[in-house]
C-alpha cells in the first residue's frame, strides 16, 4: 500500500488526469503511423510530422513553464493544455490533407507544451528531495497505465472493424473530456509570482540556461545528446510492420511495452530515491542501447516482445527519473522553467532525431537507424559515467 504522506490527493488527481489523457492519446498513437501510411504519407514525411509535433511541444514547454513560474500560477496552464490535446483528437479524423494533419498533430503537442512544466512543478511541490523518484515514478506509472488501456481499446475496435481508423479519432475524444473534468477537482496552491514583472517573451526561457546551476547544465547536455538520436517510438512500430506482421501484432506489442512501463515506474522511482537517480537512469540507458542493437537485426515476433519488455524497463527507469533529477538540481522557484527548458530543447532534438531517422531509413534502411542510435547511446553512457559529484 502506498504511503499516504508521499502520494497526496493532488498527485492522485494529476495522475488520473494523465491516465485518461493517455487513454485518449495512446488509443491513437500505435495506429497513427499505420493510418498515415494508408493515406499515402511516406516514412520520411511521418518522421518530419512527428519531429515537428514534438518541436512544437518542446518550444512551448519552455515558454509556458517560465510563464507559469513568473505568474505564480499552475492549474490554468494544466487545464488549458489538457483541453487542447482533447480537442485535437477528432480533428485528425476530419480531413486527410497534409497541412490539416500537421495542424491537428501540432495542436495536440501544443497542449502538452502548455501543461507539462506547470504540472511537473505541481508534482515537485508535493514531494521532498527524498521522495521525488517515488512521486514522479507513480505519476508516470498511472500515465502509462492509460497507454495500456488506450491501445487495448483500439485493438478491440479494429478486431471488429478492421481498418476503420478514422472512427477511433472520434472515440478518443471521450476520455479526453473526462481528463478535463478531473482538472476541476484539483485545488491549486497559492504560489508567489516572481518579483520581476517584465513581460515574458516566447524564447525567454533560453536565458535560463545562462543562469542555471552548473550541475543542471552538465546533466541536460547529456540528456540532449541522447535525445538528438532518440527518434519517435513510431519507428519501432514501423519496424514491426516492415517485418510483415499485422496491425494487431504491432498494437499488441505496444500494449505489452506500456504495461511493463506502467508496472515498473513506481518501483524504479523508489529505487532511484534509494540508490541515486543517476544510477537508475544509467541502467535505463544501458537497457535502451541493448534494445536498439537487438531491433536492428530482429525478425521474430516473440523476440520483439522480449525487446519491448526491456524497452518498457528503459522507459520506467528514465522518463520520470530525469524530471525528478532535474527538479532536485534546480531552484524550487524555477522548477517549471528548468523542466520546461530541458523538455523544450529535448523536443527540438526529437525533431532532428525523427527527421534524421526517417531520412536514414529511406536511404539506408531500418538497420542503420537502430545501429546509429545504439552507438550514440553508448557514448552518452560514458559521458554520464564521467560526471562526478553531481547532486541528485
Does the structure show a pLDDT above 80 at 52? Answer: no
Specify the residue for cell string 481499446: 153
pLDDT digits (tens, 9 = 90+) for 239-284: 888 888 877 788 788 889 989 998 899 899 889 888 888 999 999 9
pLDDT digits (tens, 9 = 90+) for 198-248: 566 666 667 788 888 888 899 999 999 999 888 878 788 888 888 888 777
DSSP 8-state assignment for residue 207: G
According to the model, what pLDDT value does residue 1 have?
A: 41
Please state, in angstroms and rounded to a whole number, the distance separating the CA atoms of residues 201 and 151.
38
**b or e along 318-351 (b: 16 or more beta carbons within 10 Å of the residue's beta carbon)?**
bbbbbbbbbbbbbeebbbbbbbbbbbbbbbbbbb
What is the percent of the chain with per-residue pLDDT over 70, rounded to a whole number?
A: 93
According to the model, what pLDDT value does residue 279 have?
A: 93
What is the CA 212 to chain-centroid distance, rounded? 23
**Nearest 5°: phi and psi at 166?**
-60, -40
Cell of 285: 540507458
* H or E, element range at 178: helix 173-183
Q: Who's near 113: CB < 8 A, 6+ residues apart?
A: 56, 57, 58, 59, 60, 61, 63, 64, 81, 347
Cell of 34: 499505420
User: What domains does the chain contain, in order, with CATH numbers?
Assistant: 9-185+206-386 (1.20.1250.20)
pTM above 0.85, yes or no: no
Please state, in angstroms and rounded to a whole number, the distance separating the CA atoms of residues 120 and 14.
10
According to the model, what pLDDT value does residue 202 have?
A: 65
Please state, in angstroms and rounded to a whole number, the distance separating the CA atoms of residues 261 and 315.
6
Please state, in angstroms and rounded to a whole number, the distance separating the CA atoms of residues 179 and 157.
21
Cα 349 to Cα 55, 62, 271, 280, 324: the distances in Å are 8, 14, 29, 23, 21
According to the model, what pLDDT value does residue 101 have?
A: 84
pLDDT digits (tens, 9 = 90+) for 124-139: 888 887 888 889 889 9
Listing DSSP states for 7-34 in one string gives: S-HHHHHHHHHHHHHHHHHHHHTTTHHH
CA angle in degrees (0–180, nearest 5) for 176-180-182:
115
**Average pLDDT of the chain?**
84
Q: How many Cβ atoms from other residues are within 10 Å of residue 8's Cβ?
A: 15
Amino acid at each position: 500500500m502506498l504511503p499516504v504522506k508521499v502520494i497526496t490527493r493532488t498527485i492522485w488527481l494529476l495522475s488520473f488526469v494523465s491516465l485518461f489523457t493517455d487513454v485518449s492519446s495512446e488509443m491513437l498513437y500505435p495506429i497513427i503511423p499505420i493510418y498515415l501510411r494508408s493515406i499515402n504519407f511516406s516514412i520520411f514525411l511521418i518522421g518530419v510530422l512527428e519531429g515537428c509535433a514534438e518541436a512544437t511541444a518542446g518550444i512551448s514547454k519552455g515558454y509556458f513553464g517560465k510563464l507559469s513560474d513568473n505568474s505564480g500560477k499552475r492549474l490554468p496552464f494544466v487545464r488549458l493544455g489538457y483541453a487542447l490535446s482533447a480537442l485535437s483528437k477528432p480533428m485528425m479524423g476530419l480531413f486527410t490533407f497534409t497541412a490539416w494533419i500537421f495542424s491537428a498533430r501540432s495542436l495536440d503537442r501544443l497542449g502538452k507544451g502548455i501543461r507539462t512544466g506547470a504540472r511537473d512543478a505541481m508534482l515537485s511541490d508535493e514531494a521532498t528531495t527524498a521522495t521525488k523518484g517515488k512521486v514522479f515514478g507513480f505519476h508516470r506509472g498511472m500515465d502509462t497505465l492509460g497507454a495500456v488501456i488506450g491501445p487495448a481499446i483500439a485493438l478491440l475496435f479494429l478486431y471488429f472493424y478492421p481498418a476503420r481508423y478514422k472512427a477511433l479519432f472520434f472515440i478518443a475524444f471521450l476520455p479526453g473530456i473526462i481528463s478535463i473534468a478531473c482538472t476541476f477537482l484539483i485545488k491549486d496552491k497559492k504560489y508567489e509570482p516572481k518579483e520581476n514583472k517584465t513581460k515574458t517573451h516566447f524564447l525567454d526561457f533560453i536565458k535560463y540556461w545562462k543562469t542555471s546551476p552548473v550541475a543542471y547544465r552538465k546533466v541536460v547536455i547529456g540528456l540532449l545528446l541522447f535525445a538528438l538520436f532518440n527518434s519517435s517510438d513510431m519507428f519501432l512500430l514501423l519496424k514491426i510492420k516492415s517485418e510483415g506482421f499485422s496491425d494487431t501484432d504491432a498494437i499488441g506489442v505496444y500494449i505489452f511495452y506500456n504495461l511493463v512501463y506502467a508496472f515498473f515506474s513506481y518501483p524504479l522511482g523508489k529505487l532511484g530515491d534509494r540508490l541515486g537517480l543517476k544510477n537508475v537512469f544509467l541502467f535505463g540507458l544501458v537497457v535502451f542501447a541493448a534494445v536498439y542493437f537487438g531491433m536492428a537485426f530482429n525478425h521474430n515476433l516473440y523476440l520483439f516482445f522480449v525487446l519491448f519488455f526491456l524497452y518498457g524497463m528503459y522507459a520506467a527507469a528514465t522518463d520520470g527519473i530525469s524530471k525528478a533529477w532535474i527538479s532536485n538540481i534546480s531552484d524550487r522557484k524555477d522548477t517549471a522553467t528548468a523542466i520546461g527548458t530541458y523538455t523544450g530543447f529535448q523536443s527540438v532534438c526529437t525533431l532532428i532525431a525523427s527527421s534524421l531517422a526517417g531520412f536514414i531509413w529511406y536511404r539506408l534502411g531500418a538497420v542503420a537507424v537502430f545501429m546509429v542510435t545504439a552507438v550514440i547511446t553508448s557514448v552518452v553512457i560514458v559521458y554520464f559515467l564521467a560526471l562526478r559529484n553531481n547532486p541528485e
